[in-house]
Chains A and B, each alone.
Chain A
């Protein structure tokens, strides 16, 4: 029978310390998970590093995307470093005046920030209103929505290349407002409402309590409608550089407004859904830009579409609207894209391609890859100005009425 690995070690301190390291390494470990690990160690101490790994992984990690970060931190702690669980560390070091019965717990060093009057970080609420001298407060955060309409009119025909940063953010806010009429689909869920064809027994009986159990008022139910899923892919290669920021704003509007999935691609596919949910548009776009390591390089549209279909996010494509924002310039053979688009088309409800170059007079999709992709697209729309982007949003909004 092998000896337990952490015999004599303070389990709570161990769990808290490992949790802190994991958090620093990018794994979101909650307090409940730390408690779970402590309880698991109390229930049975692991007898091997491998068993310790599994106990820690099952209790501390809650999603597959965090497994790689967990493995890296675990390896750094237990493999790459010499772990200090020797005899000297098992026995708590007592100060000279401590009695033998004293239980000592490690206390984290005081935060240096507290000295400058910032307060305890975990109990201090953030400022509700930005202070006038707050360098992080931008004009965009304080902007009054009423200004939007007239400003938009002035900007409606300006190409994206000529937009300032503030104008681009204005576009983002406006786009978020435009998605009110997003197409919906019927779900299997039903909810009481006027005009429903079926009688709901449960609420009808509940309401009949008032009328001596005679069901005088029939409660009817009707199907609930949900926003149709949307997946938007944005080309962030060199040739799309001027359009990238407005398109990222479009993606953010779709992510926030209708719960869409957003991806950027150049030579590889990067999921941006999570970072685009940030409440500040400026921060969201900054984080999204930072996350796409291969931006402004070459383009591999077919490989990116295939990567999407091979990932578990492919399920979001099924029955959804897929929006691809790209000029169609690709470094891969057109037949690869045709094959990928055919697979995409079979799964999606609609495939809409938005192309900044489609607005040019006399535009024809003569680029090989664009021509290969077109047979699998329901729409090819121009998107190079506010006006054209508005038309795109209106077109997407009208999909349900045409279906």
Chain B
């Protein structure tokens, strides 16, 4: 057991202490990931707090956060381990100058091994097991998923030249995906799974209170309600919690104490990410009163 949390309520309380508010589902998912020592795959629309969950978990546990950002073309040498060729060549030249002979066993040792995030998580020696965030796994090639199977299933990495490294304490592994492609069943099978929905208005307001202390209560209330309506529009990119926080921060920075159409339009770049979305939201603003009778954008 790497942490003293014995229930989902504990998880919720500890994460609350680091300003990350979770609902029942998320608390249960994180609690099970910690208790069963299994990787957790988080999916959801962009901006619902998948990456933030891993960061908050690391903060709450007092653990190191090791992050592997996935991208197309990510290889084993960037994710698992790599040999330090320069040092190997230097060692060879040095041995030659001393008229010594080197064998494979001399060159492929831990001394010449460069740890990449996954091996780093396995060999971590700190007092608390690290949190390994494998971010946006759907961006990596599907072949890359196969590289992770051994690690996800057995918390180990096999290096042909040396042998198998098994984690003494299983790292807490959080994978995130935006579903830009389907992940393989074999990867899903090795993970617990949680789909994160957009937060309920009440919880969204709670999150905003924590994230943007400068925002007034009327501003938070109307902004939450407005974002809920915006998500119902036909948008390329419906605003997530991250965009909402950015937007309310922008409004607070502009000195807005309440939501008025002029401020919505001025700060819209934080909420709308394409010209089409911007036009749609402005049209919605012009068609609504936003609680300000008679005022339109």
Contacts and interface: CB of A to CB of B under 8 A. Distances in A.
A186 B196 CA distance: 33
A315 B234 CA distance: 16
A193 to B, nearest CB: 15
B196 to A, nearest CB: 10
Contact of A43 (B32, B102, B178, B189): B32
Interface residues of B, number: 45
Contact of A63 (B38, B178, B188): B188
Nearest to A40: B32
Contact of A189 (B36, B72, B236): B72
Contacts of A189: 72-73, 75, 141
Given A59-B32, A187-B141, A32 B189 contact: yes
Contact of B195 (A32, A67, A205, A310): A67
A102 B234 CA distance: 61
Given A209-B104, A213-B92, A343-B276, A187 B32 contact: no
B85 A54 contact: no
B88 interface: yes
A55 B28 contact: yes
A260 to B, nearest CB: 12
B185 interface: yes
A19 B210 CA distance: 40
A57 B24 CA distance: 12
A43 B43 contact: no
A195 B73 CA distance: 19
Contacts of B180: 312, 315-316
B275 to A, nearest CB: 9
B38 A306 contact: no
A23 B70 CA distance: 33
Contact of B32 (A55, A61, A202, A316): A55
Given A188-B72, A189-B72, A309-B236, A58 B32 contact: yes
A62 B189 contact: yes
A99 interface: no
Nearest to A188: B73
Given A43-B36, A202-B83, A343-B236, A62 B188 contact: yes
Contacts of A136: none
B83 A54 contact: no
A201 interface: yes
B212 interface: no
A275 B88 CA distance: 52
Given A43-B32, A189-B141, A309-B236, A59 B24 contact: no
A64 B43 contact: yes
Contacts of B6: 44
Interface in A188-241: 188-190, 201-202, 205, 209, 213
A187 B25 CA distance: 37
Contacts of A44: 6-7, 31, 35
B28 A54 contact: yes
A333 interface: no
A30 B193 CA distance: 13
Contacts of A150: none
B170 to A, nearest CB: 14
Given A36-B32, A36-B192, A310-B234, 10 more contacts: A32-B190, A43-B35, A58-B32, A67-B195, A188-B73, A189-B75, A201-B85, A205-B88, A205-B89, A316-B181
18 contacts: A30-B189, A39-B36, A44-B31, A44-B35, A50-B24, A58-B28, A61-B193, A63-B188, A187-B141, A188-B72, A201-B85, A202-B82, A202-B83, A205-B85, A306-B234, A310-B235, A314-B236, A315-B179
Interface of A: 30, 32-33, 36, 39-40, 43-44, 50-51, 54-55, 57-59, 61-64, 67, 187-190, 201-202, 205, 209, 213, 306, 309-310, 312, 314-316, 343
Sort A-B residue pairs by CB-CB distance and give the 4 closest, nearest first. Answer: A188-B73, A54-B28, A315-B180, A62-B188
